[in-house]
Structure 1
């Protein structure tokens, strides 16, 4: 396994690992074991943002930076700042064309701009605090999960599952896998997805405080509201689930779209 890492302290080189140390920003190049062959990418951040795009090279290139925004402490009293306090400790591990990128300082905000070669078969991206997830012009199966940030997938091909809690989900497909199930969900924000005109799917959609819109011609049906009543320790509760079902272009794999606060848009590419 090749392990590549940069932080903000020292620099050294080993036979199978390279550690580059720098403050505030740095670039890291990750060679694949079998360049030109299919590969997988997994990026896991606690605090920060992730951007993925395609380039024509054979290596994965990671540009990492520590976004500024820290306020000067009142106690500094106008003293000259000698350090930013924004060191980096980002690590990339590669084995048999499987690449995992992580931040070893989970409470430090880091922005990752990752350029990948063509040929990725599966991309998994996860962030929790501090930033958005964006993917541009990538052909792959994509799984994106965020907690406090948006997810934006632009001109993608393949399949996608995108889930966030606080932020919108905005997706544009160039082409897609007509056999794969798709799911796009958020708690607070719009879900807005554009599909090719020939897209086929069985739609299952629900917005608790919003509406579902589409410019596809489809056969839709509103399912009977499902209500549940419960009583426990003197507490009584009723819940109502109201889903919209429909067949897009005659139907196909399942398309799940769900949010609580916001609208759902199912768009047909022009």
Structure 2
């Protein structure tokens, strides 16, 4: 296992039968079995994450703390000036058996930019506050969670599950896993997904305060009733189903798309 820690502008490493290449504000994490498929897990409480696929064999992580305050700006209270202690960023990266885990130690806002080999088996990314998640040119199963920020995953080969609360969800596929179920959801923002023209899927779609637009010819699925009546203690309850169920090209794995405030777009690659 390789455990690599970044604190402020100092890099420290504990190595076991491996090598480390490091530059100021940058971690380079070699895989135990370079060239083979790998797993990547990145979790932040506050900050942004950007992941880009490249043709190298190592995982390269650039770490940036929150922007410092304007040096000419001074905070005062009761005639006293506030002194800033500067950034104190602490990020750990651990690798074992081609699985890399990256996390921040404290609540400081941090920006992570990762360059990764394109042949991942799975990538899991999450953040809560003060940041967006961007992914480009990777393959594998992506699981992306955000709360206060958007999600963008472009030129993806594989499958995506992307969920946020406040922000848009934008995904474009280069190639898709034809057997994987997927989900795309947000409360506040558009859900915009571009699928390959060869798509075969069963869709379950709902937009409470928006519209649904599709480039695909979707056939309604009559096996899902839109109204359900139940009885209990002599009282009858009627439930109206607001979901849209449909099949594209005869159907396939289920794809869920949902939001509350915003539109939903299903695009087809040209």
Matched, 1:97 2:98: yes
Q: Equivalent residue for 1:31?
A: 30
CA shift, 1:268, in A, is 0.7
1:85 alignment partner in structure 2:
86
- Say which SS state the counterpart of residue 76 (structure 2) adopts: helix
1:74 positional shift: 2.4
Distance 2:2 2:210 in 1: 48
Look up the match of 2:136: 136
Q: Comparing 239-248 with 139-148, which one deviates more in the overlay?
A: 239-248
Specify every segment of 5 or more residues in structure 1 that has no aligned partner in the other structure, as ranges: 230-236
In the TM superposition, residue 68 of structure 1 has moved relative to its aligned partner by: 1.2
2:54 counterpart of 1:55 = yes
The CA deviation string for residues 192-227 of structure 1, in whole angstroms up to 9 with x for no partner, is 000011111001100111111101112125865447
Residues 1-57 of structure 1, C-alpha deviation per residue, up to 9 Å, x if partnerless?
1100110275555444999999xx711000100101111000010100110001221
C-alpha RMSD of the superposition: 3.0
2:206 paired with 1:183: no
Q: Which residue of 2 aligns with 1:193?
A: 193
How much does 1:241 deviate?
3.8
Do the aligned partners of 1:9 and 1:21 also contact (CA within 8 Å) in 2? no
d(CA) in 1 for partners of 2:47, 2:180: 29
Higher mean C-alpha deviation, range 84-93 or range 132-141:
84-93
Report what 1:40 is aligned to.
39
TM-score, normalised to structure 1's length? 0.86
> What secondary structure does 1:209 align onto?
coil
Q: Does the aligned pair in 1 maintain the 2:3–2:92 contact within 8 Å?
A: yes
Normalising by structure 2, we get a TM-score of: 0.86
Q: Counterparts of 1:152 and 1:228 in 2: how far apart (Å)?
A: 40
Distance, in Å, in 1 between the alignment partners of 2:21 and 2:53 is: 24
Between the aligned partners of 1:162 and 1:219, the Cα distance in structure 2 is 25
Instruction: Compute the displacement of 1:269 (Å).
Output: 0.9
* Alignment check: 8 A CA contact 1:31 1:59 kept: yes
Paired residues of 1:5 and 1:19 also in contact (CA < 8 A): no
DSSP-derived class of the 1:108 partner: coil
Q: How many residues align?
A: 261
**Deviation readout 1:225-245 (Å, 9 max, x if unpaired):** 44789xxxxxxx997540101
Greater shift after overlay, 150-159 or 4-13?
4-13
- Asked whether the 8 Å contact 1:50–1:132 carries over to 2, the reply is yes
Deviations 1:95-117, CA, capped at 9 Å, x for gaps: 00000000001x21101000001
1:112 alignment partner in structure 2: 112
